[in-house]
C-alpha cells in the first residue's frame, strides 16, 4: 500500500506544481497582452501627433498663400481702371497738347498712371511681356491671326490688352494677335 500512497502523493505534488505554474503562465500572458496594448496605444499617440503636425503645416501654408494672394480680386478690379487711363491717354491728339490746360490734364493722368504702376509693383503685380514673344497659352489669349512675313508664325505681333500676373499667378491673360505665314 505504501507504493499506492507514494504514487498518490507524487501525483498530488505534480498536480500542485502544475497548479502553481499555471498562474505564472496566466500572469505571463497577461503581461504580454498589456505590453501589446501599450504598444498599440503608443502607435496611436504617435500617429495622432504626426497628423496634428501635418494639419498645422497645411494650415500655415494655406494661411501664407491666402495672405500672399489676398489682393487678387482687388487687383483685377484695378486693372480695368489702369486700362481706362491708358485709353484716355491714347485718345489725346498731339495738337491738343499745345493747349496748356489740356497738357496739365494729360500730365495729371500720366502721374496717376505712374502712381498706380508703383502700387502694382509694391504688391507684386507685373505686366506680362507679349510683343515678340512666342504665344504662351498660360499668359496670352490669341484673339486674331495676322498674316505677316516680319515675324515667325506663332509669335505675338500685336497686343490688344495687356496681361498681368500677381507674383506667380495670372491675373489676366494678354489679349494678342499672333503671326501666321502669309
Reported as a single tens digit per residue, the pLDDT across 107-163 is: 999 999 999 999 999 999 999 999 999 999 999 999 999 999 889 999 999 999 999
Q: Are 125 and 157 in contact (CB under 8 A)?
A: no
CA 11 to chain centroid, in Å, comes to 79
- pLDDT per residue as tens digits for the range 22-55: 555 577 788 889 999 999 999 999 999 999 999 9
pLDDT at 30: 85
Pairing of strands 156-161, 174-180: antiparallel
Query: What local confidence, expressed as pLDDT, does residue 107 receive?
Result: 94
Amino acid at each position: 500500500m505504501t507504493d499506492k500512497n507514494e504514487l498518490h502523493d507524487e501525483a498530488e505534488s505534480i498536480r500542485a506544481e502544475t497548479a502553481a505554474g499555471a498562474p505564472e503562465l496566466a500572469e505571463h500572458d497577461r503581461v504580454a497582452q498589456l505590453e501589446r496594448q501599450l504598444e498599440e496605444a503608443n502607435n496611436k499617440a504617435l500617429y495622432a501627433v504626426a497628423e496634428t503636425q501635418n494639419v498645422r503645416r497645411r494650415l500655415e501654408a494655406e494661411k501664407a498663400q491666402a495672405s500672399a494672394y489676398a489682393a487678387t480680386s482687388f487687383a483685377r478690379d484695378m486693372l480695368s481702371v489702369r486700362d481706362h487711363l491708358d485709353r484716355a491717354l491714347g485718345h489725346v491728339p498731339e495738337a491738343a497738347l499745345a493747349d496748356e490746360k489740356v497738357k496739365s490734364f494729360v500730365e495729371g493722368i500720366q502721374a496717376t498712371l505712374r502712381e498706380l504702376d508703383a502700387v502694382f509693383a509694391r504688391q507684386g503685380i507685373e505686366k506680362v511681356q507679349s510683343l515678340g514673344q512666342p504665344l504662351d497659352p498660360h499668359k496670352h489669349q490669341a484673339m486674331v491671326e495676322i498674316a505677316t512675313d516680319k515675324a515667325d508664325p506663332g509669335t505675338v505681333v500685336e497686343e490688344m490688352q495687356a496681361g498681368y500676373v500677381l507674383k506667380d499667378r495670372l491675373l489676366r491673360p494678354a489679349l494678342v494677335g499672333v503671326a501666321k505665314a502669309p
